[in-house]
Structure 1
Amino acid sequence: MGQIILDITFFEENQLVDEDFPGDDSLHTVRGLIEMLSEPESLVGENPQKNLVLDVEVQECLHWRRGALLYMYCHTVGQRERWQLRDPRIFSQCLKDGVQYLLKMLQTRSPVQLDDNVSFQDLNTATLLEKGIFSDIHLLALMYCGEMCYWALRYCRDTEQTPDPKADPQAPNQGLQFKDIGEKVLDTYMSMCEGPLRGQGWNTENAKKILQYYKEDEM
């Protein structure tokens, strides 16, 4: 079922992104897609006696698609409104949900524990797996998550913390520590891009600027 949902929603997601989330009802469409992408998890949770289990890759993809969709929505709307947000509370809720989905994606698989029983010929690959980086998408998730934490702190800091009643109940996000999360994911992103992935085209300029913002925010 999970793969079917992924296939069904793919076209509409791409259309939204290609058209820059047009109209005031684009958030409604985003929420509808996220609800569809949440159905496989809901089905598994509601039927534990049937021993329904989602494949790990499908779980990761469901989390990623929801988080990336909210990232693209927030990025597009933020840029379009020049970050003078018309509704910061709803925008903040989108950021919270998006961060939570990306964190879930990054935590779906456990990092590979390297010891004497695990041998790798390629030390760079071993370093990536030890940090839970199994693909380019995992690296992108780190950067997206760090950016969303930055937007939340810079543009939604004074937003009322009352949760959006339309928020996805499967994305528990009260009490998210955006600064701590942002620093952690971007530190990992930087260490991977400037370590085992050095010279492979990964840009770190924005990550450096955001980390600098976090440091200055402490002063």
Structure 2
Amino acid sequence: MLLKASAILKTLSDMCSEDEDTLNITSCLQLYTKAILDITFFEENLLVDGDFLDDDSLWKVKELIDILSEPEHLAKESNQRQKPLFVDLDVELLECLHWRRGALLYMYCHTVGERAGWCLQDRSTFLKCLTDGVCYLVKMLKSRSPVHLSDEVSFQDKNTATLLSEGMFSDIHILALMYCGEMCFWALRYCSEEGRATRLTSENSDWSTKHLDFKEVGEKALDKYIFSCEGPLSGQGWNTEKAKSMQDFLKKMTNS
């Protein structure tokens, strides 16, 4: 991964040395994003393999989140400065950035929570991690629009068509549903009243004025996960027992 990232950065350096008038900002940003994804993947694995035991693990998680957020910030800044041009990230890269941030926060919360027996000392920080993690996963799941099925669009495999119409484009999307539902469950099960309604603190303006309803988001994610695994993906090794248990917990909760 690091060798691959190094090669990408070399290509990027060569591109940036070109004449400014011919420089393709979007292509440079895409390459920079790919390098970031490769480098941070290596660092994330070190944290996960070490079970986040170091005292500065949370700081390292936050640092990686900041690094993985840079491409979006750069695109936004570039678009503000260069009105005639529009710099945009490839949807698959953007999807990957959301997924990596959400999955990293999921792994951190899962590891720390299990190690503490879910007797959390700093619930506010834990809840912040859950909130941000759910936010990133929801944005990942909304990065691409579902395939609209019609008489003009046909698939030989009905199950594939069903998944695409639900916006499920890969196994990662299915896993994101489970992670999202599980994090919502943790927020309500282990963070007590703090998790019933919390304001999202994301740089994404679409979320800044909304409240994250862990119950609603969790139920929807688990409903779709169970539907996908017991329907189109039936017999392919996906387990829904844990999801159903969490779903039952969420559905029994009141919104008060």
Tell me, yes or no, whether TM beats 0.5: yes
CA contact (8 A) 2:229 2:238 kept: yes
TM-score (norm 1): 0.94
2:42 is matched with which residue?
Answer: 11
The answer for the alignment partner of 1:63 in structure 2 is 98
**2:216 aligned residue:** 180
What are structure 1's unaligned runs of at least 5 residues?
Answer: none
CA-to-aligned-CA distance 1:157-211 (integer Å, 9 cap, x gap): 33388879xx664484651011000010110000010001000000101100001
State the number of aligned residues.
217
Tell me which residue corresponds to 2:168.
133
> How far apart in 2 are the matches of 1:112 and 1:34?
30
- Bigger-Rg structure (1/2): 2
Asked whether 1:202 is paired with 2:238, we answer yes
Q: TM-score normalized by structure 2?
A: 0.80
The C-alpha deviation readout for 1:58-105, integer Å capped at 9, x for no partner, is: 001000000000000000000011111010000000000000000000
What one-letter code is carried by the residue in structure 2 that aligns with 1:177? D
Alignment of 1:1-219 (within 5 A): 1-48=32-79, 49=82, 50-159=85-194, 169-170=203-204, 172=207, 175-218=211-254
Post-superposition CA distance 1:24-52 (Å, at most 9, x none): 21000000000000000000011112421
- In structure 1, what residue type is equivalent to 2:242? N
Unaligned runs of 5+ residues in structure 2 are 1-31
Contact kept? 1:143, 1:189, Cα under 8 Å = yes
Please give the alpha-carbon distance, in whole angstroms, between the structure 1 residues aligned to 2:253 and 2:74. 42
Q: Is the 8 A contact 1:93 1:163 kept in 2?
A: no
Aligned-pair identity in percent equals 61
Runs of 4+ more than 4 Å apart:
160-164, 170-174
- The question of whether the paired residues in 1 share the 8 Å contact of 2:198 and 2:212 is answered with no
Contact 2:132 2:202 in 1 (8 A): yes
Does the CA-based 8 Å contact 2:199-2:211 persist in structure 1? no
